[in-house]
Amino acid sequence: MATRSRYVASFSLAIMGTGFIITSLFHDSLAGAILQGGFEAGLVGGLADWFAVTALFRHPLNVPIPHTALLTKNRQKLTEGLVSMLENKWLTKTSITDKMKEIHLAEKVFLIIEKELHSDSMKRGITTVIEHAIRRVNINKIASFVEKEIKKYLYSIHTSALIQSAINQILAHSYDEKALNYLLMKAKGWAEKDSVRNELGSTAIKAIDRIELDGFLQFAVKSFINVVDENKLGGIIQDFILRGIDGLQETDNKNRQALLEQIRTELKKVHENTTFIKELDDWKEHLIENWDATEQITKTLEKMQQQALFSIKDGEFVDMHLLPFLTRLLNNTKENPVHMSAIENWLQKQVIQFVEANHSKIGKLVRENLDALDDQTLIAMIENGAGKDLQWIRVNGAICGFMLGLLLEVIKATTPL
């Protein structure tokens, strides 16, 4: 387009020159004189505007005339002026931030996320990111941290409070009575054995033999032993024990109620036993201090890591769990004006901070791009961009000069001397 305009401008200048030459042959006539004056003025105007336009970019006819080739001589000023105009007038910090405030960034971002969330590329991206994140987890550090936190928590547990809580649960759920029933059941099972009966009889006989009595009592005991052997005596003792156990198993038995009451009383006093509590604290601290859980925690975390990677690679985790969760999260957030306002404010703040930090880079980028061009390339770009208008200056100069020349010649011809 610029080449065509340059051709039109040169053609108009050629017309003016040709017209001036031709009309000079008829300058003796009035019409010839008027036309010659018009072509002469048009030629002068065209040449003057050609000189002016050419002087912007280069020396006319390569003659180093002063105040020509203005663009190359004032290139730095032109660059600084353009940068200053961009930074201080056209693309100021205020104008950029004000324009961004008119855009509802949160809504735009959410629309983009909703549109791309279920795309294959997004799924692959999410899977890759999560998989990479899981693989990057430092299991050893986490295991060490977990062990430290577990031990810290265990150290912080007050033994007295823990025991009191356990006792409260025992009493609230009647675990003491259940424990007594269990012990009585086991005791009865033990007492019913024949071997136990024989052992009880043997033990009783030996105990009686060791008793030292005088006179009639000694005679009576010896007579009793001769009548009752180990088996009979063991049976008597066994029967006595079993009747005692049966009685304790009855819920309304006074001995049972008294025993349970005593057990509960002693349980309630346990937390007041400072010696016992101190021994439990020492035992707890010794156990925690010598507990090396790192290896077990590491194995557990490694197993969890492998299971997580398997779930991610399987694809069902993303489709069935992650994407539905993200969709619900997006919908809930969009429906909450408070959350949307907070996100919008955060995004606007990030944009303002980004503009504040990088505004100077706009001018720097323009300056670097302009400085990277040599003079000929820069001139060619400007001529190609604005060449049409510049060349029409030459055409307009020739036409205006021609019209003014005609007018002046008419005035001169009609004005008496």
Closest to 64 in 3D by CA, of 376, 72, 377, 390 = 72
Q: What amino acid occupies position 231?
A: N
Nearest-Å Rg of the Cα atoms of the chain is 55
Enumerate residues 6+ apart whose C-beta is below 8 A from 181.
Answer: 249
Give residue 303's pLDDT: 92
The model's pTM is 0.44
> How far are the Cα atoms of 103, 386, 393 from residue 390, in angstroms, in the given order?
39, 6, 5
Region for 228 from its dihedrals, namely left if φ exceeds 0, alpha if ψ lies in -120 to 50, beta otherwise: beta
- 12 vs 42: CA distance, rounded Å: 9
For 29-80, the pLDDT digits (tens) are 777 777 777 777 777 776 676 666 665 666 665 667 665 655 666 667 766 7
Q: Which two tokens stand for residue 389?
A: 């208008």
- 280 vs 287: CA distance, rounded Å: 10
For 209-228, the pLDDT digits (tens) are 666 655 556 656 566 666 56
Q: Which two tokens stand for residue 172?
A: 């609230």
Give residue 69's pLDDT: 59
Q: pLDDT of the chain along its 417 residues, tens only?
A: 445 656 566 667 677 778 777 877 776 777 777 777 777 777 777 667 666 666 566 666 566 766 565 566 666 776 676 667 766 666 677 777 777 777 888 888 888 888 888 888 888 888 888 888 888 888 888 988 998 898 888 888 888 888 888 888 888 888 888 998 999 999 989 988 888 888 887 887 777 666 665 555 665 656 666 656 677 778 888 888 888 889 888 888 898 899 889 988 888 888 778 888 888 888 888 888 888 888 888 999 999 989 888 888 776 778 888 888 888 888 888 888 898 889 888 888 888 888 777 777 777 777 777 666 666 666 666 666 555 556 666 566 666 766 776 677 677 767 765
> How far are the Cα atoms of 138, 169, 289 from residue 300, in angstroms, in the given order?
13, 32, 21
Helices (H), 58-119: 70-73, 75-85, 93-102, 105-117
> How far are the Cα atoms of 111, 116, 190, 324 from residue 318, in angstroms, in the given order?
20, 14, 60, 8
Give residue 217's pLDDT: 61
What one-character DSSP code corresponds to residue 86?
A: I
The string over 307-344, giving b where at least 16 C-beta atoms fall within 10 Å of a residue's C-beta and e elsewhere, is ebeebbeeeebbeeebbeebeeeeeeebeeeeebeebb
- 106 vs 162: CA distance, rounded Å: 51
Enumerate residues 6+ apart whose C-beta is below 8 A from 91.
Answer: 359, 362
CB atoms within 10 A of CB 409: 20
> How far are the Cα atoms of 39, 165, 394 from residue 22, in angstroms, in the given order?
10, 124, 22
What one-character DSSP code corresponds to residue 25?
A: G
Give residue 127's pLDDT: 84
The string over 170-209, giving b where at least 16 C-beta atoms fall within 10 Å of a residue's C-beta and e elsewhere, is beeeeebbeebeeebeebbeebeeeebbeebbeebbeeee
Give residue 121's pLDDT: 83
CB atoms within 10 A of CB 117: 14
Q: Work out the end-to-end distance of the chain between its first and last CA atoms, rounded to an integer number of angstroms.
A: 49
